[in-house]
Structure 1
Amino acid sequence: MHRIYEYRHLVTEEEIDGLGHVNNVVYLKWLQDAAVAHSTANGWSARRYRELKIGWVARSHYIEYLQPAFVGQEIIVQTWISTLQKVKSLRKYQIVRPLDSELLVKAETNWAFVNYENLTPRRIPEEVLACFAVIPEQEEPR
């Protein structure tokens, strides 16, 4: 089980905006990519969720941009589960630049667990809960 998952990425030219740094929308994509990779690493791929007709949908995102990233730089998205409740979960993230250990972004996403056939909330199954550790605030990376 991956408690705190690290998703590595090299910034591409296509991710750069007119100001010469990574476009703010790209950061949201990285968050989603990291969440999916973390879930997959813990045994719950998008395909598995689709086959069972259950899974996660985003309810809200919060992103705080602290420093820009530029083409050619490596970034690491660290992600972990902060809370798991009956039908929802709070996933947190931080994006760091390993070159200088600079914190670029702090973010979180509120996820709801749903039945994919009718998009109604559904209790998170025990088999899903068992695959994810909850990281208390005092144990979060800094």
Structure 2
Amino acid sequence: MDWDYENPFVQAITPQAGDIDGLDHTNNAVYVRWCEQIGWAHSEQLGLDLDDYRRLDRAMAIRRGEYEYLLPTVLGESLTLATWLTGGDGKIAMERRFQLIRERDGATVLRGRWDLVCIDISSGKVRRMPPEFLDAYLPSVAQAGE
């Protein structure tokens, strides 16, 4: 597949009946949910889950989310969703990207981007990333694909 960045973390996705809206396409809100799900799965694969966030009283919160809906998808269609961490300042901010590809023709149907900021869960205030976040996340920052 023609990924935007190298070494994607991927999940196979197939729109189900509940994902389809009145126009017979996957509802835009479903794409947002899929991005959240793969973001958590990627974080867990890198060694940080919700229990770790709670224990550390820190979380990477979405400061800004952008989604570019390029093509519709339909019930039962085979898709592959990818995500990457694509930047980080080593202090409070990181960036996560998403790309959804339709398997039958390799077309990119969605691109997304999150600007993330580290917060203290108990207060909601911006805080520096703890060493555990830096150790898990920064080594996995992706480089642009060929």
TM norm structure 2:
0.88
Residue 100 (structure 1) shift = 1.9
In the alignment, the residues of structure 2 paired with residue 114 and residue 5 of structure 1 have an alpha-carbon distance, to the nearest angstrom, of 24
Residue 47 (structure 1) shift = 2.0
1:120 to 118, 125, 130: 125
Please name the residue that 2:62 is paired with: 58
Please name the residue that 2:108 is paired with: 103
Task: Flag the structure with higher strand content.
Answer: 1
Please name the residue that 2:142 is paired with: 135
In the alignment, the residues of structure 2 paired with residue 67 and residue 92 of structure 1 have an alpha-carbon distance, to the nearest angstrom, of 18
Please name the residue that 1:87 is paired with: 92
Please name the residue that 1:76 is paired with: 80
Distance 1:113 1:140, change over 3 A: farther
Please name the residue that 1:30 is paired with: 34
Identity %: 26
In the alignment, the residues of structure 2 paired with residue 93 and residue 140 of structure 1 have an alpha-carbon distance, to the nearest angstrom, of 13
Q: Does 1:19 align with 2:26?
A: no
In the alignment, the residues of structure 1 paired with residue 69 and residue 94 of structure 2 have an alpha-carbon distance, to the nearest angstrom, of 22
Is there any run of 5+ residues in structure 2 with no aligned partner, and where? Answer: 1-6
Tell me how large the CA RMSD over aligned residues is. 1.4
Do 2:58 and 2:129's aligned partners in 1 also have CA atoms closer than 8 Å?
no
TM norm structure 1:
0.90
Is there any run of 5+ residues in structure 1 with no aligned partner, and where? Answer: none
In the alignment, the residues of structure 2 paired with residue 79 and residue 67 of structure 1 have an alpha-carbon distance, to the nearest angstrom, of 18
Residue 4 (structure 1) shift = 2.3
Residue 101 (structure 1) shift = 1.1
